[in-house]
Amino acid sequence: MSEPIISVDGLSVRFPVGRSGFWGGKQRLLHAVDGVSFDVARGEVLGLVGESGSGKSTTGRAILRRVDASEGTIRFKGEDITHKTGEEVRRLRRHMQLVFQDPYGSLNPRQSVLEIVAEPLLVHGMIDRISDARDQVVEFLDLVGMPPDAVDRHPHAFSGGQRQRIGIARALALRPDFIVADEPVSALDVSIQAQIVNLMQELKDELGLTYLFIAHDLSVVRHISNRIAIMYAGRLVEIADRDAVYETPMHPYTKALLSAVPIPDPAVEKQRQRIVVQGEIPDPVDPPPGCRFASRCAYRQDRCVEESPELRDVDGQQVACHFAEQIAAGDLVAR
């Protein structure tokens, strides 16, 4: 593929969560993201999947420089942006934008659609007054499938799907190259989800965008993604081409996730064996030394508890599991 537009190397994000002990001993840290590396090629859609608290949103926000990376580097078009601050970050925002999860919370109830969509243009000095952007805003609204008379209305006049379209129009206003979509459809009705995913697909083709598409559900990203990365408890456990992830999942966690995706065929669905994951997610403040998934893994061995697996190449897929080959070959049986 062509040169990566985003390149993340060894990214870790830790949040301080107060001090241990009465006299304020050691600063305790929550390990939200831990040593994550991946590239996103220009024009590609990378699906980032994981459950709540797996660090997928934090990864997205670290790339946008909304949260600071504790370790690692983030490159945008080859330029190291990890330590950029203030005005430099502001300029970066013209090239990378975010689509929010909650279309109800992410639009200011007191602004009209015109103000919402034109605000990015105003704050970057591309227009002098909000009213100057009227024609542009109508164009953007048309692009996302909204009627021109939406311009003067307020967000509460619209349904969730329509609001999400407005949110997308706002993200597009600066004509960015790269968009982080943070679970853009998980707050919407199932019937609307497909519409929004299709819209994003069309916009990508039309405007030549690149997405990091975050979701907690493999079925949503299947349609739009070229590659899929799976996160668990702050770590990347598997990253591979879309079809490989769906057809030959390597990591036990990926297998479990896939088995939770319903298949729209009752006969197949009935015969399928569902992997129900038992146990608890490890404490992010005090993560275990070994594999993060070990506490819930059906294939767990002694080595998994002691040694943390690195992401490595197995049959063209990248997997962070010591026993990926054995599991794939059927040499290791689930308990």
Partner 1 sequence: MASVSDVGLTIGRTANKSRTRSFLGELWQDKAGFIGFAFLVILLVVATLAPLIAPYDPASQSLVDRLQPPAFAGGTSAHLLGTDNLGRDVLSRIIHGARVSMLVGVAVVFLSGTFGVVMGLVAGYKGGRTDSIIMRVVDTQVAFPGLLLALVILTVVGPSVPTVILVLAINGWMVYARVTRGTVLSVRESEYVEAAEIVGARPRRIIFKHILPNLSAPLLTLGILEFARIVLAEAALSFLGLGVQPPQTSWGLDVATGRDYIFNSWWLVTIPGVAIALTVLSVNMFASWLRIQADPLEREKRFAAGQGAV
Binding positions for partner 1, rule: CB under 8 A: 64, 66, 90-91, 93-94, 97-98, 100-102, 105-111, 119-120, 123-124, 154, 156-157, 167, 170, 174
Pairing of strands 210-215, 45-49: parallel
Angle at 86 between CA 82 and CA 90, to 5 degrees: 85
Q: Select 9 or 119, whichever has its Cβ closest to partner 1.
A: 119
Decide whether 68 or 306 has the Cβ nearer to partner 1: 68
Q: Cβ of 199: how many Cβ atoms within 10 Å?
A: 18
DSSP annotation of 244: H
The angle, 0 to 180 degrees and rounded to 10, between the axes of the packed helices 134-143 and 160-172 is 120
Q: What is the secondary structure of 235-252 as a DSSP string?
A: EEEEEEEHHHHHHS--SH
Strands 312-314 and 45-49: unpaired
CB of 128 to partner 1, least distance (A): 14
Quote the least distance from Cβ 124 to partner 1, whole Å.
Answer: 6
Residue 326, both tokens: 């054995």
Cβ-based nearer residue to partner 1, 42 or 93:
93
Q: Is 332 exposed, middle or buried (0-12, 13-18, 19+ CB in 10 A)?
A: middle
- In terms of CB distance, is 149 or 243 closer to partner 1? 149
Q: How far apart are CA 49 and CA 64, in angstroms?
A: 18
- Shortest distance in whole angstroms from residue 34 CB to partner 1: 24
For residue 252, report the phi and psi dihedrals to the nearest 5 degrees: -55, -35
Minimum CB distance to partner 1 smaller for 125 or for 264: 125
CB of 61 to partner 1, least distance (A): 9
Q: Which is nearer to partner 1, 58 or 97 (CB)?
A: 97
Amino acid letter for position 152:
D
Three-state helix/strand/coil letters over 160-174: HHHHHHHHHHHHHCC
Identify the burial level of 160 via C-beta atoms within 10 angstroms of its C-beta, where 0-12 means exposed, 13-18 middle and 19 or more buried.
middle
Which residues make beta-bridge pairs with 49? 215, 230
Please identify, using beta-carbon distances, which residue of 83 and 91 lies nearer to partner 1: 91
Coil, helix or strand at residue 190: helix
Task: Decide whether 72 or 167 has the Cβ nearer to partner 1.
Answer: 167
Nearest approach in angstroms of CB 159 to partner 1 is 14
**171 versus 236: smaller Cβ distance to partner 1:** 171
Shortest distance in whole angstroms from residue 8 CB to partner 1? 18
Helix (H) or strand (E) holding 179: strand 178-182
* 274 contacts: CB under 8 Å, gap ≥ 6: 259, 260
To partner 1, the closest distance from the beta carbon of 175 in angstroms equals 13
Residues in the chain: 335
Taking the complex as a whole, the smallest distance from the CB of residue 301 to partner 1 amounts, in Å, to 43
Q: How far is the CB of 174 from partner 1 (least distance, A)?
A: 8
